[in-house]
Amino acid sequence: MDFKITEELQFMKDSAHDFAEKEIIPFADKWDEEHHFPLEVVKKMGELGYFGCTIPEEYGGTGCGYLALTMICEEISRGSSSVRVAFNTQNLGTALSILRHGTDEQKKRWIPELISARKIGCFAITEPNAGSDVVSLKTTARKDGDHYVLNGGKTWISFASKADLAMVYAYTNREAGAKGLSAFVVDMHTPGISTRDLDKLGTRSSPTSEIAFEDARIPKDALLGKEGDGVKIVFGSLNQTRLSCAAGGVGLAQACLEAAVKYCQERSQFEKPVGEFQMNQALIAEMATDIEAARLLTYRAAWLKDQGQLNNVLETSMAKLTAGRVVTECAEKAMRTLSAYGYSTEYPVARYFRDAILYQIVEGTTNIQKMIIGTDQLGIRKANR
Ligand code: GRA
């Protein structure tokens, strides 16, 4: 077992750390307050190759791997959990699915645009009545000559209102059950597609929207893979997008720890720094230890993917479950450490607190991760299929 991080990986992590310090952290609270989507920063990240780690050079990527992406994603999320979402919209939930299931022509056409962030992506799975239960989604794609006609509605879709391209999951054959689900790469500027932004508690500089498809005609070459491949593509994709959530949770938890440590060192009460009090020391110790455990699970899930095990649903769910728990606990502990200053919107801890709970909701709730892991361990349904 080799826990050593290579010099190359450490360099990439440090560079992303510096990028977040300069380009994200000074502005993140203001963006959050104004619900501003920092498109220019996402584009810079694209230019720097942050979204190309899992994509080979022939399609414009760097090919440096899942662990590299995880470490970069962690550092970006330490700066702004909202900006972290771009790893999924530009790569893991879009470009990567095209790489795994698309034709050479589709790969050449869409992947370089997405990973460079010249085009903004999104992926549309969730619907008002289909959240945890993915296969119950209702959107349809009816074949009509050289086109498919999309009808239905999606909700809680990150970046949808800013997106040029969307991975859309829709039924081409409702009677066939899960085998009738298909995946499409859709031009979001197609007539018949509209979006409406939703307001939310946190992650406010990442826009989240509803999408309506009303007789939206998309060309037949928008189909990814074959008709009926949708289930394979969507579950294969969720197992990669969950990695960015695990990394994002770790990064945000790290920000919580750092804020608590700084406060403990700077704030004095009863004539000594509050870090001298054992109850605060206990909080810091718990946070640091839990974060390291979540980080190790996350790096291991990424490392397995680098070994070619992209279907490591069990290990990825364990990492996501743990990171989701740890980040919410760390946000609460940071809040307790800073108390009134944590609650004040003048410090980022209030933002961390609002952003943290998302990691128990997105990409499969905490209960869904427990279901995946529990049913695997009980021999009911193997997670790594
Ligand atoms: O045999 P079949 O033809 O009926 O197919 C079944 C199965 O073989 C079908 O799916 C197939 N399947 C898979 N195929 C390939 C299942 N898993 C895989 C796989 N890994 N690879 C139905 O399977 P099932 O076992 O009966 O599944 P289920 O009981 O219907 O549901 C399973 C489960 C609950 C785990 C699943 O639906 C699930 O993961 N739900 C959570 C949904 C989720 O994660 N949504 C996230 C939305 S996107 C998002 O949050 C964006 C956030 C952006 C950001 O912040 O990053």
User: How confident is the model over 339-384, as pLDDT tens digits?
Assistant: 999 999 989 999 999 999 999 999 999 999 999 999 999 999 999 9
pLDDT of residue 200: 96
Which of 173, 194, 228 finishes a domain? 228
Claim to verify: residue 85 and residue 101 sit in the same structural domain: yes
pLDDT band at 23 (very low <50, low <70, confident <90, very high): very high
| Distance (Å) from CA 318 to ligand 1 centroid | 16
Rounded (10°) CA dihedral 174, 149, 155, 44: 130
Tell me, yes or no, whether 382 lies in a domain. Answer: no
CATH number (domain holding residue 353): 1.20.140.10
Strands (DSSP E) found in the chain: 121-124, 140-144, 147-158, 165-171, 181-187, 193-198, 208-219, 223-224, 268-269, 272-273
CB 166 within 8 A of CB 215: no
Which residue's alpha carbon is at the smallest distance from atom 48 of ligand 1? 363
- For 140, the 3-state DSSP assignment is strand
Claim to verify: residue 136 and residue 147 sit in the same structural domain: yes
Claim to verify: residue 161 and residue 285 sit in the same structural domain: no
Claim to verify: residue 235 and residue 223 sit in the same structural domain: no
Tally of domains in the chain: 3
pLDDT of residue 58: 97
Claim to verify: residue 222 and residue 137 sit in the same structural domain: yes
Claim to verify: residue 202 and residue 127 sit in the same structural domain: yes
Q: Which domain holds residue 170?
A: 121-228
Claim to verify: residue 93 and residue 193 sit in the same structural domain: no
Q: Is the pTM of this model over 0.95?
A: yes
pLDDT of residue 112: 98
Angle among Cα 106, 109, 115 to the nearest 5 degrees reads 105
Claim to verify: residue 240 and residue 368 sit in the same structural domain: yes
| Distance (Å) from CA 329 to ligand 1 centroid | 27
Our mutation pick for probing the ligand 1 site, out of 132, 157, 181, 358, counting the most ligand atoms within 8 A of Cβ, is: 132
pLDDT at 1 over 90: no
Which of 64, 94, 115 finishes a domain? 115
Q: Average pLDDT in the 183-195 region? A: 98
178 in ligand 1 pocket by Cβ < 6 Å? Answer: yes
Lookup result for tokens 């010099």: 7
d(CA 99, CA 67): 18
Q: Write out pLDDT tens, residues 126-153.
A: 999 999 999 999 999 999 999 999 999 9
Q: Average pLDDT in the 59-83 region? A: 98
Atom of ligand 1 minimally distant from the CA of 179: 3
Q: What is the CA radius of gyration of the chain?
A: 21
pLDDT at 195 over 90: yes
Q: Average pLDDT in the 206-211 region? A: 98
Q: Write out pLDDT tens, residues 297-339.
A: 999 999 999 999 999 999 999 999 999 999 999 999 999 999 9
d(CA 19, CA 251): 14
Claim to verify: residue 146 and residue 84 sit in the same structural domain: no
| Distance (Å) from CA 302 to ligand 1 centroid | 20
Tell me, yes or no, whether 2 lies in a domain. Answer: no
| Distance (Å) from CA 132 to ligand 1 centroid | 8
Q: At what angle do helices 66-79 and 7-19 cross, to 10 degrees?
A: 30
